[in-house]
Amino acid sequence: MPDGLESESRKLLGRLRDTMAEEAAGQARLDKICALTADSMGTEVCSVYLFRDDETLELCATEGLNPEAVHETRMKLGEGLVGRVARTGKVVNTADAPAEKGFRYMPETGEEIYSSFLGVPVQRLGEKLGVLVVQSKEKRQFTADEIYALEVVAMVLAEMTELGAFVGEGAALKARHTRPALIRGTTGQEGTAEGHVWLHEPRVVVTNLVSDDPETERTRLHAAVEELRISVDELLAGASGDADQVQVLEAYRMFANSKGWMRRMEEDIARGLSAEAAVEKEQSQARARMSQVSDAYLRERLQDLDDLSNRLLRNLTGQGRETGADLPDDPILVARNIGPGELLEYGRKLRGVVLEEGSVGSHAAIVARALAIPLVVHATRITNEALNGDQIMVDGDQGIVHLRPDDTVVSAFRDKMAMQAKAQERYASIRDKPTVTACGTQLHLHMNAGLMTDLPSLAGSGAEGVGLFRTELQFLVRNQMPKRTELAALYARVLDAAMGKRVVFRTLDIGSDKVLPYMKPNDEPNPALGWRAIRVGLDKPGVMRMQLQALLRAANGRPLTIMFPFIAQYDEYRLARAEVDKAIERETKLGHAIPETLEIGAMLETPSLAFAPRRFFEEVEFLSIGGNDLKQFFFAADRENERVRRRYDTLNVSFLTFIEGIVARCEDTGTPLSFCGEDAGRPVEALCLASMGLRTLSMRPASIGPVKSLLMRCHLDQVREVILEARERGEQSVRASVMAYLAENA
C-alpha cells in the first residue's frame, strides 16, 4: 500500500475523530463527516442514508445535493442504486449511474448532473444501518483504494451510530436501543413472560475507533492474538475426549493462525483504525458474508470466525462476560444460541429465553420445556437490538418478542397474562378431580418430564403419573458419558419423588436434533430420518445395556416401566426386549432385586409401526403415540422447517383417520395406548384425539389444567359426530367445525 494513501486515510480518520470529539448536535456531526469525506475523496457529493424502518431509507445528511432534500428523500429497500446497496450489502461502483439498471432519479436532490456513483453499506456486525455514497460529475470508476477508504468511513459511521453520536431530527436519527421493537420468531416452548433482558454474551463496545500510532496498535493486536492462540491451545489440550469440541477448537486455531485474517487487520490499522476497530471491521464483513452463504459448512466456519473475533475483542478491550451487572429479579435470557448445560446453570431463575438461532428441537428447547419456561427461537437481530436491563415481553404462544414495548402493548400483554393466571386458579379447583367428560367417559392425563426439578409438578398439576420421562437430558448436559451408578441414583430419586405413581422411562433418544457432545457426529443429509434413538441403541448396545441396568437397580424391587423410542418395525422391538431379558438375567445372577412388575412398551412415531404384524400388538405391553415425530413423517413435513410445518393441521381428516385406525388395532388386541406430544397439551386437539378413542394423554404439566377443563365440559360422542360429519362433507380439516361446535356447547 502506498505510503501516501496510508497517510491520507489516517488523515481523514483523524479529522473524523476530531469531529466526533466536538460538542455538536448529531445532525451537525453527520453534515461535517459528509463534507470531510467529499473533500478527502475529491468528489462533489457525499451523502448518508440511514434506515428509518426495516424497509425504508432516509437521506440524513449530504454535501453537494440539495440540503432541502435531507430527511425528505426516502426510498424503499432495493429501490434505486442506494436501495440496491442496502438490500444486497454489496458495493455499487459505476461511472455512469443514470445508465445503470434500476437507477432511480430523485429530482428533489439535484443529483442529475452527477455521473459517477460509489455506494457502500453502513453495517455493524451484519446489521444493516444504511448506505454511504459519493458522487462526481466526472465519469469514472472508483479505485480499489478509494472503495476501501469509503468502507472504513462507513465502518466508523456504523460504530458512531451504535454509540448514539448522530441522534437528531427525523425517524432515522432517533436514538438506537430506545425505540420499541417487535421481533417475530418461532415458538420453541409455549407460555408468556415479562421481565428484563439478560444478555448471555454482553456486546463489546468499541469506543476508540481511530489511532494516530499504527505501530502501537499493531503491537497490541499481535499481543492479543498471541493470547488468543495460547487460550485456544489450552482449551484444545483439555478437550481431547470431546470430538465435537475438538473440531470447533481446531477451526478456531486455524483462524487464529490465519495469515490472511491477520494481514487484513494490519492493513486496517495502517489506514488509521485502532486494533479493536480493525477486528470489528473484519467481524462485520464475516457476519455480512454469513447471511449470504447457504452452504452449512461455510456458515459454520464463518460462525467460528465470528466467535473468535469476540474473544479477540474481549482480550483487546478487557471487557469480559462479567460486566459487573447483577442478574435482574425477572431475567429473560437473550442469546444468539446456548448449550443445554449453560441453560441449566441458570435454571429456574429465568422467566423466559429468546434465541437468535436455535430450533424447536434443539437441546436448549428441550431444556426450556423441562424448565417450563417460554422460549422463542429464530428471533432475528435480537442480540443486536437488546441491551441488558431492557424491558421485554415474550409471547411463546405466538413466537413474538416485544422489546421496550410501549404502554399499549404492555397493557394488552398484562391483560393476557392476567387471564391466563385467572384460568390457572380455575384449573386448581379441578386439580384433584378425575378427568370424566360430560358424557361419563373416564380419561387419564399424565405429564412429560426430563429433570428432577419437574417432579414437584406431579402433585401440583393433577397428573396421574409421568407418561414420558426423557432420559437423554442427563446425557446431553455433560461432556462425558454418565456412569451407571450416577444414573441409577438419579432414576431412584425420580421414582421416590413420584411416590408410587407410574413413571414411563423412555430409553436414550439421541440422534437427529439431539447429538451427544462426546459422541462423534454423523454427517447425515437428513438426520431426522437417520441413525437415531433405538437404531443407535441396537447398533451400539453397550450404552443401552448400561442404562437398562441402571433402571433395574433404581427400581430396587419396585414396579418399573420402560419404553423404547422410534420403533419402526416389530424386529426392533423384539431385539430391544431381548436386551431387557438379558439385563434381568444378569441382575438376578448378581443377587440384585428384580422389579415387582415390569412393563415394556414402545413409541409409535413412524407410520410403518401402525401396520406391524398383529403379533407385535399382542406382545408389546403398551404403546405411546409420539405425536411430534409421527405427524412430521405422516405429512412428510420437517417440523424444523417453518415453510412446511405450519401447512399441516393435527385436525386434518387424514391424520385423525390414521389415529382412529391405530386405536382400533389396539382395541382389537387389548393393547394399552396413549398419545404423547405437544398436541396432547392443546385443549382442542386433545378433545379431538379423545373423541377418536384415545383415553390416555401425556403433556407438559402446565397444559393439564386447560385440557382437563375442556374435556370435563364436553360430550365425546357429540364431538366425534362433528368430526365424522366434517369427514363426510370432504373437509380437509375438522378444526372449523369443532370450533363452531365448542362456541355453542362449551
Question: For 37-90, what is each residue's pLDDT tens digit?
Answer: 998 888 999 999 998 888 889 998 999 998 898 888 888 888 889 999 998 888
Tell me the C-alpha distance between 203 and 37, whole Å.
29
- Has residue 639 been placed in a domain? yes
Cell numbers given for 600: 415394556
pLDDT class of 1 with cuts at 50, 70, 90: very low
Integer Cα distance of 399 and 191 in angstroms: 10
Q: Which domain holds residue 377?
A: 181-202+323-404
Is the Cβ–Cβ distance between 359 and 382 less than 8 Å? no
626 pLDDT above the threshold of 90: yes
Regarding whether 129 and 274 lie in a shared domain, the answer is no
Res. 511: pLDDT tops 70: no
CA torsion, points 627, 628, 634, 639, in degrees to nearest 10? 170
CATH of the domain at 502: 3.20.20.60
Q: Are 674 and 694 in contact (CB under 8 A)?
A: yes
Residue 542 pLDDT class (50, 70, 90 cuts):
confident
pLDDT band of residue 453 (cuts 50, 70, 90) is: low
Q: Which residues, listed in sequence order, are joined to residue 377 by a DSSP beta bridge? A: 186
- Residue 48: beta bridge partners? 61, 132
Whether residues 100 and 114 share a domain: the answer is yes
Q: 90-104, 273-287, 519-533, 651-665 — which is least confidently predicted?
A: 519-533
- The residue to which cell 438426520 is assigned: 527
In a domain, 208, yes or no: no
Give the integer Cα–Cα distance in Å for 340 and 693: 37
Query: The dihedral of CA 590, 595, 597, 598: what is its sign?
Result: negative
| pLDDT higher than threshold 60 for residue 513 | no
Which amino acid does the sequence have at 72? E
Q: How far lies 628's CA from each of 445, 607, 634, 643, in Å?
A: 18, 12, 10, 17
Average pLDDT over residues 114-136: 89
Is 389 in contact with 325 (CB distance < 8 Å)?
Answer: yes
pLDDT at 587 over 90: yes
Helix or strand holding residue 566 (H, E):
strand 560-567
Q: Which of 317, 340, 367 is the last residue of a domain?
A: 317
Taking residue 645's Cβ as centre, other Cβ atoms within 10 Å add up to 16
Which residue bears the cell 426495516?
Answer: 54
| Residues 384-415: tens digit of each pLDDT | 888 888 999 999 888 899 999 988 888 888 88
Is pLDDT at 518 greater than 50 in this prediction? no
Length of the chain: 746
Lowest mean pLDDT among 37-51, 418-432, 509-523: 509-523
Active site annotation includes 378 = no
**Please, is 411 exposed, middle or buried when counting C-beta atoms within 10 Å of its C-beta (0-12, 13-18, 19+)?**
exposed
- Going from the C-alpha of 179 to that of each of 152, 174, 182, 406, 513, the distances in angstroms are 28, 8, 10, 9, 36
Q: Is the pLDDT of residue 517 over 60?
A: no
Query: Strand 696-699 to strand 673-676: parallel, antiparallel, or no bridges (unpaired)?
Result: parallel
Residue 413 lies in a domain: no
297 three-class SS: helix
Burial of 63-96, coded b for 16+ CB within 10 Å and e otherwise, reads: bbbbeebbbebbbebebbbbbbbbbebeebbbee
All cell numbers assigned to 334: 437473550
- From CA 273, how far away is CA 264, in angstroms rounded? 12
Q: What is the mean pLDDT of the chain?
A: 85
Q: What is the mean pLDDT of residues 565-590?
A: 95
Q: Would you state the pLDDT for residue 144?
A: 85
Average pLDDT over residues 440-459: 83
The pLDDT of residue 624 is above 90 = yes
Report the distance separating Cα 731 and Cα 727, nearest Å. Answer: 6
Which of 317, 342, 372 is the endpoint of a domain?
317
Residue 428, in any domain of the structure: no
User: Radius of gyration (Cα) for the chain, nearest Å?
Assistant: 31
Q: Which residue has the cell 367417559?
A: 441
Rounded to whole angstroms, what are the CA distances from 468 to 287, 304, 434, 578?
41, 37, 20, 22
Q: Pick the residue with more confidence: 270 or 576?
A: 576
The pLDDT of residue 663 is: 97
- Rounded to 10 degrees, what is the CA torsion of 62, 63, 68, 74? -30
The CATH number of residue 376's host domain is: 3.50.30.10
How far apart (Å, rounded) are the C-alpha atoms in residues 381 and 370? 26
Query: Are 18 and 39 in a shared domain?
Result: yes
Q: Is residue 409 part of a domain?
A: no
CATH code at position 17: 3.30.450.40
Active-site pick, 34, 60, 363, 378: 363
φ, ψ (nearest 5 deg) of residue 607: -55, -30
Q: Which amino acid is at 728?
A: E
For 1-70, give the secondary structure using H, E and C. Answer: CCHHHHHHHHHHHHHHHHHHHCCCCHHHHHHHHHHHHHHHHCCCEEEEEEEEECCEEEEEEEECCCHHHC
Same domain, residue pair 234 and 371: no
**Model confidence at 244: pLDDT above 60:** no
Residue 38 lies in a domain: yes
For residue 80, give the nearest of 33, 30, 135, 29 by alpha carbon: 135
Q: What is the DSSP annotation of 235-258?
A: HHHTTTT-HHHHHHHHHHHHHHT-
Q: Which set of grid coordinates corresponds to residue 150? A: 469509503
Q: In Å, how far from its chain's centre is CA 370? A: 16
* Sequence-ordered strand ranges (E) for 271-335: 331-335
CATH number at residue 272: 1.10.274.10
| CB-CB contact of 71 with 60 (8 Å) | yes
Domain match, 375 and 439 both: no
Task: Give the DSSP per-residue string, 328-356.
Answer: PSSEEEEES---HHHHHHHGGG-SEEEES
Banded model confidence at residue 164, pLDDT cuts 50, 70, 90: confident
**Do 197 and 277 fall into the same domain?**
no
Supply the pLDDT for residue 5: 47
Q: Which has more confidence, 84 or 473?
A: 84
Summarize the confidence of residues 330-335 as an average pLDDT: 92
d(C-alpha 222, C-alpha 543), whole Å: 47
CA atoms 53, 55, 56, 60: torsion sign? positive
d(CA 19, CA 14): 9
The residue written with cell numbers 432385586 in the block is 593
Selected catalytic residue, list 34, 46, 60, 676: 676
Name the domain count of the chain: 4
CA distance 98 to 105: 8
Per-residue model confidence (pLDDT) at position 259:
84
Indicate the pLDDT class of residue 361, thresholds 50, 70 and 90: low
Asked if the model's pLDDT at residue 120 lies above 80, the reply is yes
- Whether residues 660 and 697 fall in one domain: yes
Residues 363 and 480 in one domain: no
Same domain, 444 and 382: no
More confident residue, 340 or 654: 654
Q: Which of 20-24, 430-434, 692-696, 705-709 has the lowest mean pLDDT?
A: 20-24
Any domain includes 605:
yes
How far apart, in whole angstroms, are the C-alpha atoms of residue 88 and residue 47?
Answer: 19
Shared-domain flag, residues 344 and 278: no
SS3 201: coil
Q: Rounded CA gap, 508 and 557, in Å?
A: 22
Which of residues 270, 289, 317 is at a domain's end?
317
What is the Cα–Cα distance from 589 to 587, expressed in whole angstroms?
Answer: 5
Could you tell me the sign of the dihedral formed by the alpha carbons of 586, 589, 594, 599, in that order?
Answer: positive
Can you read off the three cell numbers belonging to residue 394? 415474550
Q: What percent of the chain has pLDDT over 90?
A: 39
Q: What are the tens digits of pLDDT across the range 309-328?
A: 878 888 888 776 555 567 88
**Are residue 262 and residue 341 in the same domain, yes or no?**
no
Q: Give the mean pLDDT of 118-135.
A: 88
Please say if 676 is a catalytic residue. yes
Entry pTM: 0.66
The phi and psi torsions of 33 (rounded to 5 degrees) equal -60, -40
Same-domain pairing of 630 and 508: yes
**Is residue 414 situated within a structural domain?**
no
Percent of the chain scored above 70 by pLDDT? 88
